[in-house]
A and B are shown apart, each in its own frame.
Chain A
Amino acid sequence: MLAQPSQAAFRRLLDEIGTVDAVGVEERVAKFTSRSIKKASKVKGLATAVSMVDMTTLEGKDTPGKIASLCQKALRPSEDPSVPPVAAVCVYSAMVRHAKRHVAGTAVKVASVATAFPSGQTGLRTRLAEVRAAVGDGADEIDMVINRGAYLSGDYNRVKDEICAVLEACGGSALKVILEVGELETYDSIRAASFLAMSVLRPGDFIKTSTGKTTSNATLGNTQVMIEAIRDHFLDTGIAISMKPAGGIRTAKQALHYLVAVKETLGDAWLTNARYRFGASSLLNDLLRQLEKERTGAYQAPYYFSETAESY
């Protein structure tokens, strides 16, 4: 629930940007899952999704060795040369320099979560220092979390100011602003947070659904609310903000549903990895598995595409 004092401020913000028809959104996204995408268009869609993956490892047990193998897979996901490299590897800030060693000079970017990911609950100075360190180590992209505490208590200016401060610390690196939709409760709130972030972002910066560290992640519904916000913002200002759903997208079929949503809401201009990304750790394996199925015609076992030891 939103805290009481913030209601008036929230209402003013919504008056400006418009509310979300929640039932309408649910109905709309249900349609995205019913498109028939077969054969060549499916292969194209899967390859496009591969090129949009931010291969992510955000675990306490990450090591330089694990980052190295992640980077190798990012550069060359499949032995089939027609499969493109992924968009980026997404790591903790301490791992940026290890990742950079492997992908420097290639199309694969290094994204770093920073600003006390995933909670964001440290002082602003600490968060900014982390961003500067990551950028200094060569991070091409910074994934920050917004200050949900400030947002939910209605302190919107503080949220904006902090994004601006991080933006400044980023320098030339792209910024991805994580709204953590699971903690924003309502579609209206997600739309409002999207506009707050977009009002200060540069073209090419991202808004991102979630950290993947909470129980509720990206869904077609909350992603739809955000890409409609991007569309409205673009029509108002001409500034094209990019989108990154993250967490909970595990299967190739889900990824295709998300791409259908992009195509039918934002159009072809957003169907590139400069404008759209998937934050996921296991999605790539399923994309490769489905591409191999399309290539050979035979259903594939998942353990041929995964690093896990389990082979049932």
Chain B
Amino acid sequence: MTQEAQETQSVLTPEVKAMIGVEGELVESWGTVDVEYLRRFTQAVMDPDPRYWDVDFAKTTHYGEVIVPPIMVSYMTGRIRPDQDDAITKAFQENPMSDGIGNVERPGALPEIPTHLVRTLNAGNEIEIFQYPSIGDVIFFQNRYHDIRERVGRDGKAFLIITREVTYTNQNKAVLCITRQSSIRR
């Protein structure tokens, strides 16, 4: 704990510290990595790389097959499964001025951090890439509280920096990529 934090009221309580390393359940994303999602994604990110669509060329490359942007599979985690309620309709039934996201429950979510701090700001993102996904891959993901730190703002009040890590693996348990998102909780 910093000296400044000692002089103010610490928010890095033992209960908060105990959340470091806590993992969510391992979740299988709906569907598989397919060429149509790959086409839509690479066109939307505006990457014309033939490694994504030219099968014959892809076979001659270092990777030997069509590759897939690792970050693409990270968005598969947000898919609403067809056996779930229609989350959008539900969001607008609950709040006609819904922001379009609503309070959709996501599978594999982590338990809430036990803190009175409620205001959340995005503090940064990281991505670490190990392997390109392949067409046909089944994607699994698992959340984890990677780190929680305390800082003191200019106003003298302590706040938390919470880093949530998501590991993406395929059906062979190969790690494809890891993303980390840090958020400030004031």
Q: Are A and B genuine complex partners? A: no
